Amino acid sequence: MAEIKIIDQSLMVSRKRGNGTLRYEVWLDNGVVTRYNLAYINHLIFSGDNGRVIGYDNRHGHHRHFKGTFELVDTTGFEEIEQRFEQEWTMVLEEYNAQRNR
């Protein structure tokens, strides 16, 4: 069976919550995630790297992008990466909103 893209979506984060876009792309082959690209984009928080504040992908091994930096990530699989991403983009927004409301 060939690799199939099963998720391709962009979700807008409301202005009240802090703005930005969540981008999810996931490919499967034989029921296993073979490729993924998860990104939180917000040009108000970070203008470099096309606004990607935080992101995970496995184009060249599992790795994490954060405000223009890049690091390899040890992982047990996609589910772990997805959980990390959800926790981190939420935390970034909480910090951004706390600074905005001072």
Per residue in 56-99, pLDDT tens? Answer: 999 888 999 999 999 999 988 999 999 999 999 999 999 999 98
Per residue in 32-62, pLDDT tens? Answer: 999 999 999 999 999 999 999 999 999 888 9
Q: Please tell me the pTM assigned to this model.
A: 0.92
Q: What residues make up the domain containing 93? A: 4-100
> What average pLDDT does the segment 9-29 reach?
95
Q: How many domains does the chain have?
A: 1
SS (H, E, C) 47-95: CCHHHEEEEEECECECEEEECCEEEECCCCCHHHHHHHHHHHHHHHHHH
